[in-house]
């Protein structure tokens, strides 16, 4: 923790520490006590034809695991990070600019994610290359990946570049790795789940 101008360490924020600690303990209790005793199904189950699919514990465990990681980061940041500046309590032009930029990046990413696949398929149909509609191809490679990969890449990398003020190779690589892992889990290992936004068509 960096000393303040008068040579004294800034006081830790008890609210940040308390929030991180409560969520961390709750996540640990959910994973070790609540879920094992309350959820009957497993993390991954086999359906009637022998294919793997998410069990009853799949999404609760994923959510609790994410909360565990985030709360641990929150707690460590509150204990060892720099003391955050106190908010002014006023809505400024910078606040509004932040919200506008954030929503623009997210909306562009979601728009591309939702419409790129159907637009590509309709273009190919008009050229006579394919006969099927996008609804018929939502579970067919490479069409089912078009919107998810492109829109997700634009949204994720856009937010990172905006936050960091520039493009870094590690940021691009991180986005690609996360997208590849999600495709591996949700599309390859769990065949009864469709990548967004394909379930909407």
Query: Has this prediction a pTM greater than 0.85?
Result: no
What pLDDT does 84 receive?
55
User: Can you read off the two tokens belonging to residue 62?
Assistant: 């994923």
**Distance from C-alpha of 159 to C-alpha of 167, rounded to nearest angstrom:** 11
* pLDDT score recorded for residue 10: 53
Beta bridge partners of 46: 52
% helix, strand, coil for the chain, step of 5 = 65, 5, 30
Cβ atoms of residues 76 and 61 within 8 Å? no
Q: pLDDT, tens digit, for every residue of 72-117?
A: 888 888 888 766 555 555 777 887 888 898 999 999 999 999 899 8
Length of the chain: 201
| Residue 99: predicted pLDDT | 86
Q: Quick: pLDDT tens for 41-83.
A: 778 777 677 777 777 777 788 888 888 898 888 888 888 876 6
């Amino acid at each position: 923790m960096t000393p303040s101008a008068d040579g004294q360490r800034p006081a830790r924020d008890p609210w940040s520490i308390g929030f991180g600690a409560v969520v961390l303990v709750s996540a640990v209790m959910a994973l070790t006590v609540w879920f094992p005793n309350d959820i009957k199904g497993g993390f991954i189950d086999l359906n009637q034809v022998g294919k793997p699919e998410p069990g009853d514990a799949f999404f609760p465990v994923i959510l609790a695991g994410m909360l565990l990681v985030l709360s641990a980061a929150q707690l460590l940041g509150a204990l060892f990070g720099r003391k955050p500046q106190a908010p002014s309590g006023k809505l400024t032009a910078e606040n509004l600019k932040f919200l506008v930029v954030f929503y623009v990046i997210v909306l562009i990413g979601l728009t591309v994610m939702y419409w790129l696949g159907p637009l590509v398929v309709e273009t190919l149909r008009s050229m006579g290359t394919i006969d099927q509609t996008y609804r018929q191809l939502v579970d067919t490679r490479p069409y089912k990946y078009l919107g998810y990969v492109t829109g997700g890449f634009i949204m994720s990398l856009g937010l990172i570049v905006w936050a960091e003020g520039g493009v870094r190779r590690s940021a691009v690589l991180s986005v690609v790795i996360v997208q590849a892992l999600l495709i591996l889990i949700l599309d390859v290992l769990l065949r009864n789940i469709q990548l967004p936004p394909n379930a909407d068509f």
